[in-house]
Amino acid sequence: MGVPESMMIPMGIPTRMLAYPRRLLSGEPTRDKYLIVDGGALAGTGAHSYTAGS
């Protein structure tokens, strides 16, 4: 008996889920599009999406 199609996970999803921890563990810097705060100031996407305040 096979696995129902609705239960199958596309193979690209687990690969993408593992990509960030792999980059993090290898010491690669976080990409700007994922960076929110750097050195206590808004940076990357955070600088475009948020306003510094209280």
Ranges under pLDDT 50 in the chain: none
The pTM is what?
A: 0.47
- Burial classification of residue 5, based on how many CB atoms lie within 10 Å of its CB (0-12 exposed, 13-18 middle, 19 or more buried): exposed
List the domain boundaries for the chain: 30-54
Output b/e per residue, 36-52; b: 16+ Cβ within 10 A: eeeeeebebebbeeeee
Nearest to 35 by CA among 26, 23, 47, 44: 44
Q: What is the pLDDT at residue 1?
A: 57
Task: Please tell me whether residue 48 adopts helix, strand or coil conformation.
Answer: helix
Q: What is the pLDDT at residue 20?
A: 76
Which amino acid, residue 4? P
Q: What is the pLDDT at residue 10?
A: 65
